[in-house]
Structure 1
Amino acid sequence: MRDNEILTRISALVAEEHELRGRLATGDVTSEEENERVKELEVALDQCWDLLRQRRARRGVGEDPDDAAPRPVSEVEGYQQ
């Protein structure tokens, strides 16, 4: 996945999160449904940002960014901020 594809995916996930919050405000989804989906979106976003950072880091040291690969959720979610 190329940088522009990752950024497009990130934009789509953020747009879905905003839409979901709007649907919650209008009562189209329950707060439980919204919370569950937001958690899924946050995990997907974390993976996308991690992959993008990997690609940029590889490029920065002269390595092939296409060698970067998505890391497992357990690894990405285990990072300390």
Structure 2
Amino acid sequence: MDDKVISSRIGELIDEEHQLERGGRPDPKRLEDLEIELDRCWNLLRQRRARRAAGEDPDVAQVRSSDVVERCLQ
């Protein structure tokens, strides 16, 4: 997955999150799932950018589990 695909997915998730929030009574579980998926996508994008900046192959970066991503300090 390349940076453009990841960025596009982030945009889709943000759009869905905003739609839910505007809907009046959003589903808390779905909002939580969206937040976790957004964190995972952002984490992957950061990994890819860091690898590229270090002269390494960004395609080696992998999506981390939600448990790992949620434990990361922001």
**Equivalent in the alignment of 2:59:** 66
Runs of 4+ that moved beyond 6 A? none
| 1:22-71 C-alpha deviation (Å, 9 max, x unpaired) | 22x2xxxx45xx21111000000000000000000000011110010001
What runs of 5+ residues in structure 2 fail to find an aligned partner?
none
d(CA) in 2 for partners of 1:80 and 1:22? 29
The DSSP-based 3-state class of the residue aligned with 2:50 is helix
Max Rg structure? 1
Q: TM-score, normalised by structure 1?
A: 0.86
Quick one: percent identity of the two aligned structures? 49
Counterpart amino acid of residue 71 in structure 2: G
Q: CA RMSD in A?
A: 1.0
What runs of 5+ residues in structure 1 fail to find an aligned partner?
none
Give the count of matched residue pairs: 74
